[in-house]
Chains A and B, each alone.
Chain A
């Protein structure tokens, strides 16, 4: 057992990756549907919506903040775009407005948190309710269905060559972009510095306030993008969509090895964490697990995975 634990003493993501691979092997053995191309594409599509958000949740948690309002931004932006479209606005323009609205919601979160020196947990808990309320008010509580032009649908919700789901392509592209921002730019450097030691970062001339606010804006835009893609895929939106989405995103983030204390985490890890959550859910469904049991099991898996991934850092103390 000691040796097995020793073997996991790599970087946090590596530990998760090992568990992830073991899980995939397990599901491949106990079901004959798990390891098939349609199912894998299906998993990719299922995780793509929350996956878009996970990438930026990772960034925001690395800088020691958190955003609980992503699910409400998701719903509010969906309603904004759908209502504008139903009232005759061009869907491309409506989507642009939706993205800007997402940025605006994020900006509010960031400015109130940072300039008001308030805990992000509380601020975004508040705006979670506010943005949700906004979505309910503008929709009158009713879902809206949309008949999108093909040109738009084809680049958002459809399936494309090789039957690849377009949302999954968006997910992969955004993962790549987020990885580039976090790992290859000075902005990403500043995110780590802010989360690693905010005071030291400030003394090194980094405007930590701006970094934190920008992170909130980025996750707002990502939530808006996720919302638009989901709308296209489902051909409609509901004002109650995205409930609990923040928890899925946070769970994927920490499974991916990001520390809730900030300063530590990678987009690669976030990607694995996202797939991990999707695979567990998918695999359990394929095994015919009772729907009532699935959340219970996922909870156990979440804690176990994070425990295993922190073993290496734990032993250093």
Chain B
């Protein structure tokens, strides 16, 4: 039996700051199988992949590779062992041809160091033929479809003679026909002896392609089972667990009063299709869904970052058009980004500058001369309302903890005195204490009369906070639950639809 095992994870643990990403995970992958790895967002799938590929280092445990301990400290070393990862965002050079990409880093040259393109192009065609595909080796990769780019990445990995191919969400951007082609390629590779691990959210596809499935939940190994013994319902239950449902809070929503009414909203480029929903006054409306379901896209469209192609948005009974974030703010809509690092924080600026960024024109007197008194009042209020731990209002935000940075950004949106606040992953990457505080602040806001749309990948939190939950998948709303009637299983069953 043991010689059947290609890679064996033994008690792998990994911690990022306050978050235990992987906790004592042990399972094995057999030679020549297609192994599925599933779990909710944050279950630890990517961390496990990155440890395997030498991008992260594990804190504890060991990996046995073909029976021997494996130590990889870089993707290059992993590749030398025969471990290749095809990432969701495929890192190919779009300006180079297929053959050039396939042979990137291992050019075939003559004795004068000149690349022998003809030979490499022939070898590329041959490699593609081995997986049953034809290709123009001189095509520019940037002009290929996502599916062909993916195949190019697979061929690139095979050219490095990969024994173990890891595919991260390979089907999320493919059409059904392309998925079939990919699966044919994977089956062919399997028959030739390559071992494959697939990470995916789409359980129906996992049922179709994998031999065995491993489920992770909150960084722990829940189980590994033969796919033929599994059911989608069973897997969903393993993913979300037997958690006691959070006691739903007393609903504060004022049912009769619709604050925001969205009808038939579509945005083709963002793949939003026919979105309809109402938001009531003093309601917390949760948006559930897996990554790529379109929740952030919906939020940013409501905030005027993108223009809808069709549909209407009504605010307090009046139809409005929102052309840019400034107009959204003027209508009383705020949006806390999910990507604090890139889209939220001004790293070189101070606490007050970050907190006041959306109302800077109101912090002035005599035209637009900054008024220190107003600034100090605003900053003092923000710092005390949200209990921001900082050495002062002029402290550079860079030096605050993640939770306090998030509170500063939340303060930015409270300062605009919004009617509607859209919070995109408001507690992502903050520690437990700050999480609770942020949730408390949100509830207080609602008690004061504003309405909140909250996006969170933490279902437990979403159910605990929300009055009502909409489930999104693939750019549209698939269902709606009152929080007290919802269960993890019901929500996930809708969320994993294609």
Given contacts A192-B349, A196-B347, A263-B346, contact A185 B364 (CB under 8 A): yes
In the complex, whether B357 has a CB less than 8 A from a CB of chain A is yes
Whether A201 lies near B357 (C-beta < 8 A) is yes
- Nearest CB of B to A35, in Å: 37
In the complex, whether B258 has a CB less than 8 A from a CB of chain A is no
Whether B360 lies near A207 (C-beta < 8 A) is no
Stretch in B64-72, B95-103, B230-238, B337-345 touching the partner: B337-345
Q: In this complex, what residue of B is CB-closest to A261? A: B348
Q: In this complex, what residue of B is CB-closest to A259? A: B348
Whether A197 lies near B346 (C-beta < 8 A) is yes
| Bound Cα distance A207, B360 (Å) | 12
Whether A207 lies near B345 (C-beta < 8 A) is no
Whether B369 lies near A203 (C-beta < 8 A) is no
Given contacts A184-B369, A185-B368, A187-B368, contact A200 B326 (CB under 8 A): no
Q: Which B residues touch A187, using CB under 8 A?
A: 368
Interface residues of A in 162-201 (CB under 8 A from B): 184-187, 189-190, 192-193, 196-197, 199-201
- Nearest CB of A to B346, in Å: 4
Whether A205 lies near B353 (C-beta < 8 A) is no
- Nearest CB of A to B396, in Å: 11
Whether A199 lies near B348 (C-beta < 8 A) is no
Whether B364 lies near A200 (C-beta < 8 A) is no
Main DSSP-derived SS at the A contact region? helix
Given contacts A185-B364, A187-B368, contact A205 B325 (CB under 8 A): yes
In the complex, whether B363 has a CB less than 8 A from a CB of chain A is yes
Whether A203 lies near B343 (C-beta < 8 A) is yes
| Bound Cα distance A196, B346 (Å) | 6
Whether A202 lies near B325 (C-beta < 8 A) is yes
Whether A196 lies near B349 (C-beta < 8 A) is yes
Given contacts A186-B363, A199-B342, A263-B348, contact A204 B412 (CB under 8 A): yes
Interface residues of A in 33-81 (CB under 8 A from B): none
Interface residues of B in 304-348 (CB under 8 A from A): 305, 324-326, 328-330, 335, 337, 342-348
Given contacts A190-B360, A205-B325, A206-B357, contact A200 B370 (CB under 8 A): no
In the complex, whether B482 has a CB less than 8 A from a CB of chain A is no
In the complex, whether B361 has a CB less than 8 A from a CB of chain A is yes
| Bound Cα distance A1, B449 (Å) | 61
In the complex, whether A264 has a CB less than 8 A from a CB of chain B is yes
In the complex, whether B358 has a CB less than 8 A from a CB of chain A is yes
Given contacts A192-B349, A203-B305, contact A186 B361 (CB under 8 A): yes
Q: Which of A190, A196, A203 has the most CB of B within 10 A?
A: A203
Interface residues of A in 233-268 (CB under 8 A from B): 263-264
Whether B361 lies near A207 (C-beta < 8 A) is no
- Nearest CB of A to B256, in Å: 31
Q: Which B residues touch A189, using CB under 8 A?
A: 353, 357, 360, 370
Q: Which of A197, A199, A200 has the most CB of B within 10 A?
A: A200
| Bound Cα distance A205, B342 (Å) | 16
Q: Which B residues touch A186, using CB under 8 A?
A: 360-361, 363-364, 368, 370
- Nearest CB of A to B14, in Å: 24
Size category of the binding interface on chain A: 20 to 34
Whether B346 lies near A200 (C-beta < 8 A) is yes
Q: How many residues of B contact A (CB 8 A)?
A: 30
Q: In this complex, what residue of B is CB-closest to A196? A: B346
Contacting residue for A203 out of B335, B347, B348, B364, CB 8 A: B335
Q: In this complex, what residue of A is CB-closest to B327? A: A205
Whether A192 lies near B346 (C-beta < 8 A) is yes
Contacting residue for A197 out of B328, B345, B360, B363, CB 8 A: B345
Complex interface bits, B447-479 against A, C-beta within 8 A gives 1, otherwise 0: 000000000000000000000000000000000
Q: Which B residues touch A207, using CB under 8 A?
A: 324, 326
Contacting residue for B325 out of A190, A192, A203, A264, CB 8 A: A203
Q: Which B residues touch A264, using CB under 8 A?
A: 348
Q: Which B residues touch A206, using CB under 8 A?
A: 326, 357, 360
Q: In this complex, what residue of B is CB-closest to A187? A: B368
- Nearest CB of B to A281, in Å: 32
| Bound Cα distance A129, B229 (Å) | 73
Whether A197 lies near B347 (C-beta < 8 A) is yes
Given contacts A186-B363, A186-B368, contact A199 B343 (CB under 8 A): yes
Whether A200 lies near B344 (C-beta < 8 A) is yes
Q: Which of A205, A207, A264 has the most CB of B within 10 A?
A: A205
| Bound Cα distance A186, B366 (Å) | 11
Q: In this complex, what residue of B is CB-closest to A203? A: B325
- Nearest CB of A to B122, in Å: 39
- Nearest CB of B to A195, in Å: 9
Complex interface bits, A270-282 against B, C-beta within 8 A gives 1, otherwise 0: 0000000000000
| Bound Cα distance A292, B136 (Å) | 57
- Nearest CB of B to A233, in Å: 33
Given contacts A185-B368, A186-B370, A196-B347, contact A204 B357 (CB under 8 A): yes
| Bound Cα distance A82, B116 (Å) | 63
Whether B370 lies near A193 (C-beta < 8 A) is no
Interface residues of A in 198-221 (CB under 8 A from B): 199-207
Q: Which of B325, B328, B329, B330 has the most CB of A within 10 A?
A: B325
Q: Which B residues touch A184, using CB under 8 A?
A: 369-370
- Nearest CB of B to A114, in Å: 14
Q: Which B residues touch A196, using CB under 8 A?
A: 346-349
| Bound Cα distance A204, B330 (Å) | 11
Q: Which A residues touch B416, using CB under 8 A?
A: 205
- Nearest CB of A to B176, in Å: 34
| Bound Cα distance A263, B357 (Å) | 14
Q: In this complex, what residue of A is CB-closest to B326? A: A205
Q: Which B residues touch A204, using CB under 8 A?
A: 325, 357-358, 412
28 A-B pairs with C-beta separation under 8 A: A185-B364, A185-B368, A185-B370, A186-B360, A186-B370, A189-B353, A189-B360, A192-B346, A193-B349, A193-B357, A196-B346, A196-B348, A197-B343, A197-B345, A197-B346, A199-B343, A200-B337, A200-B342, A200-B357, A202-B325, A203-B343, A204-B357, A205-B324, A206-B357, A206-B360, A207-B324, A263-B346, A263-B347
Residues of A within 8 A of B (CB): 184-187, 189-190, 192-193, 196-197, 199-207, 263-264
Q: 12 extra interchain contacts, Cβ-Cβ under 8 A, other than A189-B370, A196-B347?
A: A186-B361, A189-B357, A192-B348, A197-B345, A200-B342, A200-B343, A200-B344, A200-B346, A201-B346, A202-B324, A263-B348, A264-B348
Residues of B within 8 A of A (CB): 303, 305, 324-326, 328-330, 335, 337, 342-349, 353, 357-358, 360-361, 363-364, 368-370, 412, 416
Sort A-B residue pairs by CB-CB distance and give the 5 closest, nearest first: A205-B326, A204-B357, A196-B346, A205-B329, A186-B368
